[in-house]
Amino acid sequence: MLGHLAYLTAMVLLATTAPLHQLGEARGALLVLGVVGIWRYSWAFLNFSRAVAYLRVVYPKRRAEAEAAFATRPVRPHAFFLTTSYKIEPAVTVRVYRSIFAAAAASEGGATIVASVVDPADARLIRRTFSGMARDMSTVKLRVDQIPGTGKRDALARSLELIARDCPTRHDVVTFVDGDSCVPEDLVARCAPVFTDPRIGALTTDERAEIDRPGLFEDWFNLRFAQRQVMMCSMGLSARVLTLTGRMSVFRADLATNPGFIAMVQSDSIQHWRLGHVKFLTGDDKSTWFWLLSNGYRTAYLPDVSSLSMESQPRPGFVDSAVTLMTRWYGNMMRTNGRALGLGPARIGAFTWWSLLDQRVSIWTTLAGPTGVILTALLAEPMILPVYAAWVMGTRYVYCSIVSGFRGRAGFPISYPFLLYFGQIVGALVKSFIIFRLDRQKWTRQSTATGAAAALTTGQRLRMASSTYLHALTVGWLVVCVLFLTKIA
């Protein structure tokens, strides 16, 4: 409580530091801030409104209708679980598989678990955990598939081919689970009814994180998942979410075993006008999402079902860890964004299409505000800095209060507003870097990477130079536009 009081006091003091008559030369920058603020916060208000409507009204109605339809079906669906494990701590692996085994045992129609592993020790640990389950596992079949470490995409494709041999029907389900994510025991009972709607091809759920040590990284992850809940509820209203998270998503079994689906999971790529053929290493969750989207299927969001992911910092420092993760996440997003936009609003829905467009526009609207403030402070009126700081503190505090409400919390750590601003600005910078370098990608755990500096060909060097040139040119035009709009030069 004292932290919040100190925060609000500092905000008021900053806001009153500069009298309004001293900010005459900063009017242009304040106007740009106001226009950008109206744009961004009207968009946020729209998503908040849609999220509330979905969470309170639309989703309960849809769930009730789905469960009523599901109750009339004489046969329960068979549940397939596909899990990939690579370089994960044994204690985490045991927790994850115990949760999967429990969920599989609770499936009324039986279950099959395909565990894709690289390390023989993981295979032994999984089998030992299965045999040690203190419940009836007679309706559950376990297949441990040990494969070469050629990447997650190959692992998923091979596992899906194994599942396809069982000839699953459209009434069965396939759950993709990461090797560091626990699933709820009633997963099948909660998710299977959604597929009574033949238009639904897959669904994803809420996520929560368990961090191995408290601190900024834990707060950052919790804030991100709270923001995700809001955006997913908003997109759920249109029955087309913007991602099917790799941590845990559920698919209609006949679609997940479709040869075209499997082929895209294993070998997805785009043809870029400047970078040429870009093969995807990461982002399998974006490939599955795009296949369903392009084939006309809808995707649902379940806000009352959640997975638990056990996260750890990939780097020693918080900033380095956050940038590493954002680079992978936003790289996956940007590589798929262009082709998804190409489907058009008539095919995927106007709001979904506009949300995809906003992923690109928000890069520059986010950076325009601080760029205008910095230029104004350097060239005209330094006193705009405390006013801007107060504006950031106030707006982010209100935003965090609303987002936390979606988690049913009355309060939030005082680190949230700072982490929110960090995520917005650094996230926009990372996106602006990636959008010109879609060929740069790397796994967090695996050494597989593209765009490395070693042994580059002449063509690769030219592409890297063109990426740097276009990035610098775009940033330059952003600065010129801000200078023109603020009228300070």
Q: What pLDDT, in 10s, does the model give residues 143-178? A: 999 988 888 999 999 999 999 999 999 999 999 999
| Tokens encoding 67 | 């469960």
Is position 123 within any domain?
yes
pTM: 0.92
Answer whether 80's CB lies under 8 Å from 114's CB.
yes
DSSP state at residue 81: E
Q: Which of 426, 420, 275 is nearest to 363 (CA)?
A: 426
Answer whether 258's CB lies under 8 Å from 168's CB.
no
CA separation, residue 10 to residues 22, 264, 354, 391 (Å): 20, 52, 37, 12
Is position 157 within any domain?
yes
The predicted-structure confidence for 366-382, as pLDDT tens digits, reads as follows: 999 899 889 888 888 88
Is position 438 within any domain?
no
Enclosing domain of residue 266: 74-316
| Tokens encoding 88 | 């994960």
Q: What is the CATH number of the domain that holds 96?
A: 3.90.550.10
DSSP state at residue 274: T
**Residue 444: pLDDT over 60:** no
Is position 122 within any domain?
yes
**Residue 186: pLDDT over 70:** yes
The backbone torsions φ and ψ at residue 67, rounded to the nearest 5 degrees and listed phi first, read: -70, -35
Answer whether 115's CB lies under 8 Å from 97's CB.
yes
* C-beta atoms surrounding 141 within 10 Å: 15
The backbone torsions φ and ψ at residue 141, rounded to the nearest 5 degrees and listed phi first, read: -110, 130
The predicted-structure confidence for 259-298, as pLDDT tens digits, reads as follows: 999 999 999 999 999 999 999 988 899 999 999 999 999 9
Confidence band, pLDDT 50/70/90 cuts, at residue 23: low
| Tokens encoding 478 | 């952003």
**Residue 22: pLDDT over 70:** no
pLDDT at residue 150, rounded to an integer: 83
**Single-letter amino acid code for the residue at 271:** Q
CA distance 462 to 465: 5
Is position 132 within any domain?
yes
pLDDT at residue 442, rounded to an integer: 65
pLDDT at residue 310, rounded to an integer: 92
CA distance 79 to 175: 8
pLDDT at residue 218, rounded to an integer: 94
Number of folded domains in the chain? Answer: 1
Helices (H), 90-215: 90-105, 120-131, 152-164, 187-191
Q: For residue 107, how far is the Cα from the chain centroid?
A: 28
Mean pLDDT of 425-440: 94
Mean pLDDT of 449-467: 76
Is position 484 within any domain?
no
CA distance 113 to 143: 6
The predicted-structure confidence for 300-318, as pLDDT tens digits, reads as follows: 999 999 999 999 888 989 9
Is position 397 within any domain?
no
Is position 487 within any domain?
no
